[in-house]
Amino acid sequence: MARAADTLKTTTLIFIILQQVVLGSEVSVTRLDVPSNAIRYTNQTLTCEYELSSGSLYSIKWYFKDEEFFRYTPSADVPLVAFNNSNIQVILEESKENKVVLREVDLTATGEYKCEVGRDWPGFAYDDKAANMTVLAIPNERPRIEGVVDGHFRVDDLVNLNCTAAPSMPAATLLWYINDDAAPKEYLREYNHVKTADGLFISTLGLNFKLTKTDFIQGELKLKCTATIATLYHKVEEHSQVNPPSTVVRELPPEGSLVTANGPTSGSESMWNGLLERLVTLHVVLLFSVHLLW
């Protein structure tokens, strides 16, 4: 009995192969659109276009890493079906025959997606195409310049700074610039990528060198750090300074004068003003005394 079943399977397989050789596959996936880069927590649309030279469509199946997650079967009572997958979720109400919409993709949605189109009888025929999608975690923040800056940098000061990018996936590419020119490699310190608990990366690049006169252009110094991820993220942080203004030295008032809220007055002027104030006060006291006697 088992031998007869194996013979039947072999015969059926040979028949299908011969039929496809004679008739051709008669089905082909002509275009597969899968975003190569997708931003984390955004909806993503995948489309699959096909051609049938004869017969009718049997089904369109979608696979993620060889696991089926969505199927369209026009002859079924329920044409659209989504299957459980812990890595991706299908928005069923927005998906249709040749389009599937994924809900708020996370980093686990990175991988290979395949569309398989099947032709109905006679001669079930299939064709498929696959493409990869990478989910990126793009930060909103600029990179941070960290380090001690006491007042202004001056000639012979040691620059010892770090540029640290916000958590991302993949790790951000960092570059240092001195007055808009790329910093020499010998000025750069170790490039670190620290992985966070949720699978993101924090990048850090150090800048370490001694300032010379040539680093100041007309008294100005600019230290700039850029963080880049593909073509989707480019942020800049900058420390810019000019020579501090010279200290203003106030001139002392002429000798023998007093500085008041109204400005300088001469010594004789101040003496007469004081005497006048005393006479007025004495006059008021005398008037008050006479009034009491009466």
The CA distance from 28 to 60, in Å, is 12
Residue-wise pLDDT for 242-281, tens only, equals 865 443 334 444 443 333 334 444 444 444 455 555 554 5
The CA distance from 196 to 262, in Å, is 65
Residue-wise pLDDT for 160-199, tens only, equals 999 999 999 999 999 999 999 999 999 999 888 899 998 9
Predicted local confidence at residue 132, as pLDDT: 98
Between 80 and 218, the more confident residue is 80
Residue 16 pLDDT exceeds 90? no
Cα 55 to Cα 17, 23, 30, 120, 148: the distances in Å are: 17, 11, 17, 6, 74
The CA distance from 248 to 144, in Å, is 35
Residue 65 pLDDT exceeds 60? yes
The CA distance from 142 to 172, in Å, is 11
Predicted local confidence at residue 286, as pLDDT: 47
Cα 100 to Cα 80, 176, 227: the distances in Å are: 10, 43, 34
Residue 227: CB atoms within 10 A of its CB come to: 26
For the chain, domain boundaries: 24-136, 144-242
Parallel, antiparallel, or unpaired for β 220-229 and 201-210? Answer: unpaired
Predicted local confidence at residue 52, as pLDDT: 86
Supply the mean pLDDT for the chain: 81
DSSP 217: B
- Read off φ and ψ for residue 280, nearest 5 degrees: -65, -40
Asked whether this chain's domains 24-136 and 144-242 adopt the same fold, the reply is yes
Residue 113 pLDDT exceeds 70? yes
Predicted local confidence at residue 277, as pLDDT: 58
CATH number belonging to domain 144-242: 2.60.40.10
Cis link prior to 122 (omega < 30° from 0)?
yes
> May I ask the CATH architecture of the domain 24-136?
Sandwich (2.60)
The CA distance from 200 to 210, in Å, is 34
- For residues 46 and 90, the answer to whether their CB atoms sit within 8 Å is no
